Structure 1
């Protein structure tokens, strides 16, 4: 085989390996407002907007509960994850600086606030969180077009591991390939998968990036990109589905929640 032909075959096989999986749409729900992200449990999904939450049935998208902040204390709810009947929402004061973040906790039955944990002033805006193997994992975003006042760009985006009592333990940078895909923004959604890998999204692109903790060093290892039907922003893996990888994602311009299966 000639060198040029060998190169083309190699590129084709590499691209095929990277995009071997993709998300296939199952259903979609058009709602009144869908701006930041979605969380999910066995029977409902939860739409997250800047200062409000709505709870919907998974069968037909019917709204069953609504909560809106009336205090003026919340600025930018970014994402959420449901754990043991509680909806943990990640909040920041984006686009203000210095960057401040917190975890806001809600009862999934009523959407009433039941707790808060201040992360305070850390190097970035918290955009997503998950609880995995007894630890909290929180992504802190930095933006190439928003963080100049603090002297940082999106290369400062990091994943931080906390104890269950919120003691900071370790942190990792995101790989250059993924940062370039995020640019000029940063990571907006993420979670641990059933396979022990990290799945995350950027701000806009319909792509899911799969990462793993490195064997050594301080940079997450990029594994592959999965094309999605939904945009970037915060998404959720439906952990009540045991034999499939079912995603709940959003499209902001037309206010859809999109359910898809990765295969």
Structure 2
């Protein structure tokens, strides 16, 4: 085969395999709020955003970042809250015993109006630590992380990271593995945040890189399909897409080293 034709064929194969990579989508910052403590992630509803820390929550006005409510675990029963999602007037926060083993996880439920703790759902011992959850199309979608830097503890690395689909009453239906290139991007860690986007694609982050990995359910098989990577201003960890904004994708993310919540738009 002539070299020119070979190069053309390789280019076409790459173009067909990764049709969205050439669009150059990125996150553009709109505003940022520096707060007292920003550890794990952020959730959002039409009027407020919620900062998730290991053992505490704070509620803030979206306009000026002013804190209007707070909650602190005083029981000692919660070890490591990871992320949150608002469904109706409830904030669902994922929680695990990370870095302890064997891994155990739960979802802790709060009233968004007062941040009062109103419920819990326990996954108990599970082969992974729950890091994020989302409610989409009538189902729960829950990510269970495994870490390559903890492989010797339970005999697993981050290739065991799993997305699980549940009914609204927590019956497990299906599950998927993450694609190899995304697992490589996670490094020694795993997925820390995730949500379904308005375009019907799954957006997720790793532990620290300022990137969003966009995935979709496969037409066949057991592994999520990679779509594209979007550079972000905020780092890995838990984030939220503001579903109250209909004409564009507004992203709430965090930077932990300086306690910022960063609001950006995906363009």
The residue number in structure 1 matching 2:258 is 254
Matches within 5 A, 1:57-96: 57-96=61-100
Kindly indicate whether the alpha-carbon contact (under 8 Å) linking 2:191 and 2:204 is maintained by their aligned counterparts in 1.
yes
Kindly indicate whether the alpha-carbon contact (under 8 Å) linking 2:20 and 2:228 is maintained by their aligned counterparts in 1.
no
What SS does the corresponding residue of 2:200 show, helix, strand or coil?
coil
Alpha-carbon RMSD: 1.9
Kindly indicate whether the alpha-carbon contact (under 8 Å) linking 1:19 and 1:225 is maintained by their aligned counterparts in 2.
no
Aligned positions, number: 262
Question: Aligned match of 2:146 in 128, 131, 142?
Answer: 142
The 2-side partners of 1:215 and 1:15 are apart by 17
The 2-side partners of 1:182 and 1:168 are apart by 26
The residue number in structure 1 matching 2:230 is 226
State the shift of 1:16 in Å. 7.9
Tell me if 1:191 matches 2:195.
yes
Q: Taking structure 1 as reference, are residues 34 and 215 closer, same or farther at Cα in structure 2, changes over 3 Å only?
A: same
Question: Aligned match of 2:101 in 91, 97, 103?
Answer: 97
Tell me if 1:34 matches 2:9.
no
Instruction: Compute the TM-score of the two structures, normalised by the length of structure 1.
Output: 0.95
Tell me if 1:179 matches 2:196.
no
Tell me if 1:133 matches 2:137.
yes
The 1-side partners of 2:141 and 2:32 are apart by 29
State the shift of 1:122 in Å. 1.0
Question: Aligned match of 1:151 in 155, 158, 177?
Answer: 155
State the shift of 1:148 in Å. 1.8
State the shift of 1:255 in Å. 0.4
Report Cα offsets for 1:166-207 as digits up to 9, x if no partner: 011110000001000001100000001111110000000000
Question: Aligned match of 1:106 in 90, 94, 110?
Answer: 110
The 2-side partners of 1:225 and 1:70 are apart by 40
Q: Taking structure 1 as reference, are residues 84 and 15 closer, same or farther at Cα in structure 2, changes over 3 Å only?
A: closer
Instruction: Compute the TM-score of the two structures, normalised by the length of structure 2.
Output: 0.94
State the shift of 1:10 in Å. 3.8
The 2-side partners of 1:103 and 1:179 are apart by 24
What SS does the corresponding residue of 1:225 show, helix, strand or coil?
strand
Question: Aligned match of 1:115 in 101, 116, 119?
Answer: 119
Extract unaligned runs of 5+ from structure 1: none
Kindly indicate whether the alpha-carbon contact (under 8 Å) linking 2:28 and 2:265 is maintained by their aligned counterparts in 1.
yes
What SS does the corresponding residue of 2:150 show, helix, strand or coil?
coil
The 2-side partners of 1:247 and 1:207 are apart by 12
Kindly indicate whether the alpha-carbon contact (under 8 Å) linking 1:77 and 1:89 is maintained by their aligned counterparts in 2.
yes
Q: Taking structure 1 as reference, are residues 204 and 219 closer, same or farther at Cα in structure 2, changes over 3 Å only?
A: same
The 2-side partners of 1:19 and 1:183 are apart by 25
